[in-house]
Amino acid sequence: MVRDFEQYSAWRQGVVTALRNYQSWVAGASLTDAATEQRIGRTLARLADDKLSVAFVAEFSRGKSELINAIFFADYGQRILPSAAGRTTMCPTELLYDPSFAPSIRLLPIETRADNLSTGDYRDQPGAWTVLPLNLDAGADMHEVFKQVSLTRQVPVEEAKRYGLYDEDDPDLQVTLDEHGMVEISLWRHAIINFPHPLLKQGLVILDTPGLNAIGTEPELTLNLIPNAHAVLFILAADTGVTKSDIEVWRNHIGAGAGRLVVLNKIDSMWDELRSEAEINLEIERQQANVAHVLALEPRQVFPVSAQKALVGKITKDAALLARSRLESLEGALFNELIPAKKEIVRKQLAEELQALNGAQTAMLNARVRGIVEQLHELKSLRGKNQSVIAHMMRRIDVEKKEFDASLFKLQATRAVFTRLSTELYTCMGMDIVRDDIEQVREEMQRSRFFTGVREAMRGYFERIGRNFDAAEHKTLEISEMMGVMYRRFANEHGLTLALPMPFSLERYREEIAGIEAIYYKQFGTATLITTSRVVLMEKFFDTIASRVRGCFKSANNDAEAWLKVIMAPLEAQIRQHKDQLKHRLASIQRIHDATDSLEQKIDAFESSQRQLEAQKARLNELAGAISIAINAEFVALDVAA
């Protein structure tokens, strides 16, 4: 598995290297502008921050943490996550590596659920987290620190209700009260383990979830972490099969699709010395077929394994035990689902960026070539001509230069309109609108503690978001059309080779909001009655929804700001280049008129420049081709047990 991820990282690094070579060369050849620098910078940043996330979802005592240990951490020679009978993961736990933090476990107190902030909001508040260092040289000490994710405390019912962790109308929860009427809750709301494991260093993020009940009560899981995971492993136990709660979570929160795998764990409970291996395998196949039928899957989509035996087999180098655990089949499927799917997403984005990038640089070089060709034509036409003809040509170029300068005054008037439209765009999608909308929903929820009022508040909220996006897209279209007219006018009037401005779309942000809305309605939209405790839970969900919407609008604002900064960059670069060419043409002919330069020497110099530009075009295509080769490079899965 490590080698699989190493191959993906090597592919990504190959793309980075090719892109940096391209960046360095175009800068040296003076072929960059603000739009080019932004495109390359953002692409490199995305590649550097590229993550592959795998979520493990299961009811407690299904061997979820043991499966994580077996797949990812067996090479460490011991369990990383605590694994024992009963509940060992009480809060959502992320395993990742961020070099800006020391090896540690960061823990968010459960009390933060009483505030109107999501887990995501707290990621930008270091002071809210309890940080415990990890001693990487002392495995036993590290294992003790990891046990924090399983700690709980007893609280009164009212406190649990305030956190949205107790529903008095749920009979299954009432029986969990102890003799003092107290509720057991997790000590922590969220845990982030920053651990320098090779896989985590290469961008893997592992999410270990609490029991299935948390899927419905922890909004961060339901609205963010699980839907956005590149792979989700849904773990069942061979000795229990599919329970009612399993079916509900599968249908409502996971479901069949790319990167969604079902694991039938603990098949070692079916190993029986009094039965033959064939009989045992037949029983496992029957259970596998039954699980597939209940979840509406093909049997091949359900993977029977023994995580515990696989871990032992890997650590003790017992190949026979590892083979009998069947883990290698699951690892192969995980690799074939996760990495190629993620790579295809990145590859598509890179291909689109490369096409736009190389098109802009090629246009700039073609404009330079055209300028040289025009000057050569002018100079060659001067062979054998007298001084009056040369003087006439000087006057013609001077008129052309004045006409071009007049066009620049028109450009300044367009800039004023551009500034106004930009301000109107920010008014449509600014963070002030987002904040006011969130406050309005919270006020409406507080005024109406009943189902209809709360549902109406949420319906109005999503409608207003849609209208804000509609207004913003209208403004971006106005700006694009105005800039397109300007680009075409300069191209027609002055013979410039100009690609149309970079397009801008809010579609991916619309899709993100639509996904959030769909999850919300799946969770709450079909209910006919919402109790007081469910209203509290809905408010907790709204905290996370509001956080996701804020993040979505912030990213959209950043993208819009970046787009507005560079939308004129290609035009401005061509204007500067055209002005320089006019200036040089006039100066060249002036020197020939004054007999200070030899005409033939000047022609030779321009022909040499033309050859250099053609060589630059060839080199640009070569470097763009190298990026394309790196993007489309293939790799094959190696031995998953490696």
pLDDT digits (tens, 9 = 90+) for 111-128: 999 888 888 889 889 999
Q: Which residue has the higher pLDDT, 553 or 574?
A: 553
| pLDDT (tens digit per residue) in 208-232 | 888 766 766 778 888 888 888 888 8
- What's the pLDDT at 275? 87
- What's the pLDDT at 638? 38
Distance CA 188, CA 106 (A): 10
> What is the mean predicted confidence (pLDDT) over 424-435?
90
> What is the mean predicted confidence (pLDDT) over 7-35?
87
For residue 641, what pLDDT band results from cuts at 50, 70 and 90?
very low
Q: What is the 3-state secondary structure (H, E, C) of 244-284?
A: HHHHHHHHHHHCCCCCEEEEEECHHHHCCCCCCHHHHHHHH
> What is the mean predicted confidence (pLDDT) over 280-286?
92
Distance CA 216, CA 495 (A): 62
- What's the pLDDT at 399? 77
Three-state DSSP class for residue 204: strand
- Match 């980075």 to its residue by tokens: 16
- Match 């985590």 to its residue by tokens: 200
What's the predicted TM-score (pTM) here?
0.75
Q: Per-residue pLDDT for 366 more than 50?
A: yes
Angle between helices 599-631 and 2-28 (to 10 degrees): 170
Q: Per-residue pLDDT for 149 more than 80?
A: yes
> What is the mean predicted confidence (pLDDT) over 436-459?
81
The amino acid at 259? G
Q: Per-residue pLDDT for 356 more than 80?
A: no
User: What is the DSSP-derived secondary structure letter of residue 152?
Assistant: E
For residue 537, what pLDDT band results from cuts at 50, 70 and 90?
confident
Distance CA 101, CA 92 (A): 20
Where does residue 153 rank: exposed (0-12), middle (13-18), buried (19+ CB within 10 A)? exposed
Q: Per-residue pLDDT for 191 more than 90?
A: yes
Q: What is the dihedral of CA 20, 26, 31, 36, to 10 degrees?
A: -10
| pLDDT (tens digit per residue) in 38-67 | 888 888 888 888 888 889 998 877 888 899
Joined tokens for residue 10:
């090597």
For 178, other C-beta atoms within 10 Å of its C-beta total 9
Q: Give which of 260, 114, 90, 258 is closest to 190, Cα–Cα.
A: 90
For residue 434, what pLDDT band results from cuts at 50, 70 and 90?
very high
Distance CA 382, CA 606 (A): 14
State phi, psi for 619 to the nearest 5 degrees: -70, -40
Distance CA 524, CA 457 (A): 13
Q: Per-residue pLDDT for 642 more than 60?
A: no
Distance CA 171, CA 387 (A): 104
Please state, rounded to an integer, the average pLDDT across all residues of the chain.
Answer: 83
Spatial CB neighbours of 570, under 8 Å, sequence gap ≥ 6: 33, 35, 360, 363, 364, 498, 499, 501
The amino acid at 295? L
| pLDDT (tens digit per residue) in 484-501 | 887 777 777 766 666 666
User: What is the DSSP-derived secondary structure letter of residue 95?
Assistant: E
| CB < 8 Å & 24+ apart, contacts of 440-443 | 441/542, 441/546, 442/116, 442/539, 442/542
Q: Per-residue pLDDT for 502 more than 70?
A: no
Q: Per-residue pLDDT for 428 more than 70?
A: yes
Distance CA 43, CA 371 (A): 32
- What's the pLDDT at 325? 95
Joined tokens for residue 630:
């790196």
User: What is the DSSP-derived secondary structure letter of residue 114?
Assistant: G
Q: Per-residue pLDDT for 615 more than 90?
A: yes
* Neighbouring-strand partners of residue 107: 130, 191
The answer to whether the beta carbons of residues 291 and 302 sit under 8 Å apart is yes
Distance CA 190, CA 105 (A): 10
> What is the mean predicted confidence (pLDDT) over 367-385?
78
State phi, psi for 153 to the nearest 5 degrees: -150, 160
Joined tokens for residue 567:
């939308």
For residue 175, what pLDDT band results from cuts at 50, 70 and 90?
low
CA-to-CA separations, 567 to 124, 562, 604, in angstroms, rounded: 31, 9, 38
For 375, other C-beta atoms within 10 Å of its C-beta total 20
For residue 449, what pLDDT band results from cuts at 50, 70 and 90?
low
- What's the pLDDT at 19? 92
| pLDDT (tens digit per residue) in 620-632 | 999 999 998 998 8
User: What is the DSSP-derived secondary structure letter of residue 241?
Assistant: B
Least confident interval from 24-28, 29-33, 417-421, 524-528:
524-528
CA-to-CA separations, 257 to 79, 179, 237, 299, 576, in angstroms, rounded: 30, 45, 21, 15, 52
